[in-house]
Amino acid sequence: MRVLTTAQKQQFEEEGYLLVEDLLDPARDIQPILDEYAEVLDGIAQKLHAEGAIGSTYGSLPLIERLVAVCAESGRNFPQHFDFSLPQSGIKVDTPIHVGPAVFNTLAHPRMLDLAEDLIGPEIYSNPVQHIRFKLPARAVAQGSHNGLVSKIPWHQDNGVIMPEADESSILTVWLPLTPATIANGCLQVVPGSHRDGLTPHCPGPLGIAIPDSLVATQEAVAVEMHPGSALLMTQRTVHSSLDNVTDDDVRISMDLRYQPIGQPTGRPAFAPAGFIARSAAHPETVLHDPAAWAENWYRTRAALAEDAPAFNRWKAGENGCA
């Protein structure tokens, strides 16, 4: 079923991004994801309490308040415990990952796939470059190295953080807030039309792989505030970043998912076993429907990468103008 109008598709092509309101239903589609993560947080809080790292499990608090309390008191964050992907270095056989059924059901949600079909056609592959981000207020962020799953993300193109094999692929990013995304709690900002300028050089830096600010038309950037259930679409060349969460007690929770036509390189060959065919008109029998099988594919990927982790991106300090 079509989701986008011709005018919306045209806007996406021209601007490189599109805000789609009310794609999913917050009560029916988003709440089960938050419930699943509340269970993950409960496990973390119980363990920290048993270790004596926190004086209370904060079991009576709702998800956001509980996460802030647990992180602030323990001085620790748990991005990898929530994420449904793996880090780009240091993967071990027991690196935490959460690949639960509510997450899979979101990746495979018929409305998501209808939306993707409008832009990339009926042969749809779920690209395994994907994350959940719990963007914390500064007082709950653990001191030490920056982590883009809990803090701001610098200017980049998604094409810039994957391998060159996918430079000609048509990867669609669907960014989905699970709680309101506001300027105060660190929503995304995009540079309209930036997808037309090709791949801009990126450099490794303290906030991760980033386009140097001098190469970004920051004065043209648009901050995109969003409601849960709406979706922000971006091409793989759209320049974007996220703002800092400057609230005292709010957490911006979001998923970023990616879809592409079946058969094109994903740009993350290291995660190959974890990608899957999400919809196929030509070969419906190849579609993955089983959340447990998907989870198992991630566990297999993790085991393989614990043995041998290849490169995850192309940029190196000291090359291509990078300091």
Ligand X SMILES: O=C(O)CCC(=O)C(=O)O
Q: What is the 3-state secondary structure (H, E, C) of 156-202?
A: ECHHHHCCHHHCCCCCEEEEEECCCECCCCCCEEECCCHHHHCCCCC
d(CA 323, CA 320): 9
Minimal distance in Å, beta carbon 286 to ligand X?
A: 27
Number of residues that bind ligand X (CB under 6 A): 10
Q: Which listed residue (17, 82, 155, 175) binds ligand X by CB under 6 A? A: 175
Minimal distance in Å, beta carbon 312 to ligand X?
A: 14
Using the rule CB under 6 A, is 232 a contact of ligand X?
no
Q: What is the 3-state secondary structure (H, E, C) of the chain?
A: CCCCCHHHHHHHHHHCEEEECCCCCHHHHHHHHHHHHHHHHHHHHHHHHHHCCCCCCCCCCCHHHHHHHHHHHHCCCCHHHHCCCCCCCCCCCCCCCCCCHHHHHHHCCHHHHHHHHHHHCCEEEEEEEEEEEEECCHHHCCCCCCCCCCCCCCCECHHHHCCHHHCCCCCEEEEEECCCECCCCCCEEECCCHHHHCCCCCEEECCEEECCHHHCCHHHCEEECECCCCEEEECCCCCEEECCCCCCCCCEEEEEEEEEECCCCCCCHHHHHHCEEEEECCCHHHCCCCHHHHHHHHHHHHHHHHHCCCCCCCCCCCCCCCC
Using the rule CB under 6 A, is 118 a contact of ligand X?
no
Q: Which listed residue (77, 230, 245, 254) binds ligand X by CB under 6 A? A: 254
Minimal distance in Å, beta carbon 186 to ligand X?
A: 6
Using the rule CB under 6 A, is 158 a contact of ligand X?
yes
Minimal distance in Å, beta carbon 162 to ligand X?
A: 10
Minimal distance in Å, beta carbon 256 to ligand X?
A: 3
In the complex with ligand X, the residue whose CB is nearer, 153 or 274, is 153
Q: Are 179 and 136 in contact (CB under 8 A)?
A: no
Q: Which listed residue (66, 98, 111, 133) binds ligand X by CB under 6 A? A: 133
Minimal distance in Å, beta carbon 242 to ligand X?
A: 3
Burial label, 174 (beta-carbon count in 10 A; 0-12, 13-18, 19+): buried
Q: Which listed residue (102, 153, 176, 216) binds ligand X by CB under 6 A? A: 153
In the complex with ligand X, the residue whose CB is nearer, 244 or 296, is 244
Minimal distance in Å, beta carbon 151 to ligand X?
A: 8
From residue 181 to residue 200, the character string flagging contacts with ligand X as x (rule: CB under 6 A) and all else as - is: -------x------------
In the complex with ligand X, the residue whose CB is nearer, 48 or 128, is 128
Q: Which listed residue (256, 271, 278, 298) binds ligand X by CB under 6 A? A: 256
Using the rule CB under 6 A, is 231 a contact of ligand X?
no
Using the rule CB under 6 A, is 169 a contact of ligand X?
no
Q: Which listed residue (126, 127, 242, 260) binds ligand X by CB under 6 A? A: 242
Minimal distance in Å, beta carbon 268 to ligand X?
A: 13
Binding site for ligand X (CB under 6 A): 133, 153, 158, 173, 175, 188, 240, 242, 254, 256
